Structure 1
Amino acid sequence: MTSSLPAPSNRLEVLEVDTLRLVETPSPTLSPEHRAAMDQQWTKAVHANPDLFDGPAVVCTATGYDGDALVLSWAPVTYRRFVLRRVPGAPRVSSVFVTVAQPTDTGGLVVGRMSASTAAPGRWQLPGGNVEPPAGTGVLDEAELRSQACRELAEEVGVHAAPKDLTLWAITRGENGNIGVHFEAPPLPQRTVRERYEELVQAEKTAGRTPELDRITVVDGDPATELEGPRADYLDALLHRYTGRADE
């Protein structure tokens, strides 16, 4: 029997999950007025940041439990749908994203700061990004989420992990009802992570591209004292969750 989760609150929630099941639903319809407002806001956003790309993305349309499984209903959209958050009275837009908690041999986790060309410049977060619909006849399931999480880790940090080596670590629901699916990777030496990141940055600059993360660091204590600047809404809770586990 499936039961719905309570409506999203303004605070971060860490959802208790044993298994995750994803169900595709039709894309939410928009009124002509909201669609026009969305297109207008998107034009303004691209004018302010020409690096924005209206590529494929996923929104969360509902969440609920079926026994021990979290059922996440999703729909395919494009990135411009998210600018509806700037339109008063527009329907709620909840994104779905993945991250990777990459431990190091020093006992901390790798976090990165978003570069100026991204949608959230200066924000600290775990390596990751918004989930995209599967290509072709593919299925969006936990295995696909692992693959996308590995791709984000490689694109942002230069670390190549195998999807089978990731474990589902936590699921969060935060601002705007956004759903974060967080995986944990096997630990690596901190020196190795930094070397691979520097190699990635050099390769991106040589190709004339801006790295998605302009800085990485390893946090093994209080993020409020170790990180200067804005942080993803889930970051403090998950860092405390990790360091608390390490202290047990």
Structure 2
Amino acid sequence: MRMARLKHQPSKPPEPPVRGVKAATFNALLDTAMALIRQDGHIPSVAEVAVRSRVSRATAYRYFPSRSALITAVIDASLGPVRKLSSDNPDGRARVHELFTQTFPRFKEFEPQLRAAAQLSLEQWGLERAGLLEEEPYRRGHRVGILQHAIAPIAPMLPAAVRDRLHRALSVIYGIEPYIILKDIWGLRDREVDRIALWMADALIDAALRDAGAAALPALPAQASPAATTTADAPRPPLRTPGRR
């Protein structure tokens, strides 16, 4: 399945040391950053993480040269298992459900970190537009590859334009964004957010399959005149029992 082109490639997390003092220092800095975000709700500076970890600033900057590098590592630690999820389920809808339901617990567990990442992305967007951004921007987008795997069984059934539309639409509801909107604005609990996200995913899949079916229908033959078939003579469509296909 060819993936639609992204505006920017997602930021890659720094490579953690495997063992020894370097690995211990890296993990200490990362754990401190995650704790500070959970406690304060925003991304600390690398210097602040160094002080809290009792590590020199020079050492901290060698591992994390910017807040972008720091938050990339934080999100990778938070969602790493999700990014490695793989399913051989041949049912595309079921595979999407598996992805959402397996990811929901981590969204809840690491909600402060995910909100902080969204916050940094928005902050840097404004700074970049104003020409004031002094670090490499943090780029989100790992969900694109995750969703590509999830919809793989459905993809061959859809025209390219419909497939790309479904892929992009699912990326809007798979992530921290539904939690921000539905909890902050509507005051919903996590369980209801999960239900609505799954409901939206089902609706998007249904719409994509419906659009694909309409695109595959042959064109109706042209009629001689609007009066050629009266309302009384026109055949009625068969009744169908409502239900999800």
Bigger strand fraction: 1
TM-score by shorter chain over 0.5: no
TM-score of Structure 1 vs Structure 2, range by shorter chain: under 0.3
- Larger of the two Rg values belongs to structure: 2
Give the TM-score taking structure 2 as reference length. Answer: 0.27
Higher relative contact order (CA closer than 8 Å, sequence separation 6+): 1
Bigger helix fraction: 2
